[in-house]
Structure 1
């Protein structure tokens, strides 16, 4: 099958918003090419990402690539994407160059080519993420291995915001905790919570593709007994109570539902929030305080922030 690869040259700040637009346009896949990974230092002596070439990345900004089947109405779809990108500018989001380019690719070539970039990575003291096609063997007795099949639509679990959330889960989760994973995507944070001792996890996402992706990965990791996946908008109609909410989504979205987070948490319950750029850190913290959530820790990787807050 022939696909059209649509590349948007944008900024790290706009990656999530641009990705959402591409998904809404019907894209069956998204790839994020951020030159930051070329310079990232991994705190592990094994399992590094390798075979990365600077020639595959922009010298500045980020490439967000989506895949649409070549059809008679592809032109109209691209014009709609351009319109939606312009709307982001009106809301003050920095798109950088904001250019769009199209290239035709064959599905079999694309599906095999990108896998060379995805290798086992140790993302915390105990957790290693590995693609399902790698024959990875644990290096330590207490090592937790999460197998991921990101498919064509979602990330590999090694993005800084995901790593920040996993490290926070490892530090704060208690055996028997009930968890809401808001914007679950591939389900990786739900899987991590289950393997770290949570007793009951509800993984929520508005995107049908995300729901299917999460269900697949949860089954691969044999955690279906603990995790339920549901298509849902944020915490709408969720009653709780739960001991922990994890949300790896845009700062603008977190700000919008801090009251709901406080509502579903038990007294002393925790929020782990990421997907936040440093420029929005103060805004998110202010919203949390207004909702009676006390910030107890802030952690960083590059320009990304994770905030841990407790219900007073």
Structure 2
């Protein structure tokens, strides 16, 4: 079986948006190479905890590769992709150098080759992401292992926005909370929530492929088997009273989610929002404050921001 590879060179801040465009265009999966992944490895206070070879990474920007079945590919798809990527500039995202190339590849050349770049990653003192094909021994009794087989579509947990989300969850979970994970992707945040002691966890994603990806990863982690994964448009129609809403999505999507998160959160509940490029931080903060959220903490890694906001207690 042959595939058509559509490769887009873009700016790091547009990786998620470009990936979504390619998947919505019918791609069977995307692979992402980001120059910032080399520089965004967290430090646990004992030195760099993930050994990387700089030559394995791009010098700058990012490369998003999408794969389409040859028999279903057409020039019209390319035209639509180009137009939608150009439209990202309207919402303030940088897309340069915006170079799109097309090539034909055999399935065996891409289905597993990306795995060589994905290794165990200690996110915090307590959370370590481990690919399902890799052997790993815990370093201490409090270490929680998150097993992932992220496939080609929804990431490995190494992107700064995901790292910030995981660190936020570790800061906020005390035990037995009800948590809603919006835009779950690979399911890593839902799995991490269970690893950290959350009670009921429900994951949502608009994309049916993401729902399947999350469910497959949940099956790799016995402690997370009770996580519910549901296809849904953000929190539309959801009336579950919850302690924490976590969302690692674009700022433009976080904005309409803010009133929805407010409506489902208990007084004192927390909204953990990540995926926010630095240039959009003030816009998101302003709308959170207008909704009467209290800003608890703003975290940042390179150009990416995560915000922890609290719905005030009723007597505050």
Relative to the length of structure 2, the TM-score reads 0.94
Q: Which residue of 2 aligns with 1:4?
A: 4
Match among 50, 53, 59 for residue 52 of structure 2: 50
> Do the aligned residues in 2 keep the contact of 1:5 with 1:68 (CA within 8 Å)?
yes
C-alpha displacement of 1:18: 0.9
The equivalent residue for 2:216 is 216
- How far apart in 2 are the matches of 1:39 and 1:262? 35
- Post-superposition Cα deviations, 1:211-258, rounded to whole Å, max 9, x if no partner, equal 000000011112454310000000001112100000000011111121
What corresponds to 1:166 in structure 2?
A: 166
Q: CA deviation at 1:70?
A: 1.4
**Deviations along 1:73-129, whole A, 9 cap, x unmatched?**
422211221121222234443211212001222221212321110000100110100
How many equivalent residue pairs?
310
**Structure 1 residue 297: Cα displacement:** 0.4
Question: How far apart are the structure 1 equivalents of 2:29 and 2:54?
Answer: 20
* Corresponding residue for residue 274 of structure 1: 274
Counterparts of residues 60-209 of structure 1 (less than 5 Å): 60-71=60-71, 73-209=73-209
Whole-angstrom distance in 1 between the partners of 2:29 and 2:72? 19
SS in 2 for 1:53: helix
Q: Give per-residue Cα distances to partners, 1:175-198, cap 9 Å, x unaligned.
A: 110000000001000000011111
Partner-residue secondary structure (3-state), 1:170: helix
Q: Distance in 1 between matches of 2:290 and 2:87?
A: 29
Contact 1:13/1:277 (<8 A) preserved: yes
Contact 1:4 1:103 in 2 (8 A): yes
Q: Secondary structure at the match of 2:112?
A: helix
Runs of 4+ off more than 4 Å: 44-47
Deviates more, 1:84-93 or 1:239-248: 84-93
Q: Which runs of 5+ in 2 are unaligned?
A: none
- 2:228 is aligned with 1:228: yes
Q: Could you tell me how far apart the structure 2 residues matched to 1:302 and 1:46 are?
A: 16
Q: CA RMSD in A?
A: 1.6
Change over 3 Å in CA distance of 1:231–1:103 after alignment to 2: same
- Which ranges of structure 1 fall in alignment gaps of 5 or more residues? none
Counterpart of 2:31 in structure 1 is 31
- Greater shift, 294-303 or 95-104, is seen at 95-104
- 2:245 aligns to what? 245
CA distance in 2, matches of 1:219, 1:238: 24
Q: Matched residues in 2 for 1:90 and 1:195: separation? A: 40
Larger mean CA deviation between 210-219 and 8-17 belongs to 8-17
CA change 1:52–1:108 in 2 (3 A) is farther
Deviation at 1:72, TM superposition (A): 6.0
- The answer to whether the 8 Å contact 1:194/1:226 transfers is no
Whole-angstrom CA distance in 2 between matches of 1:207 and 1:275: 17
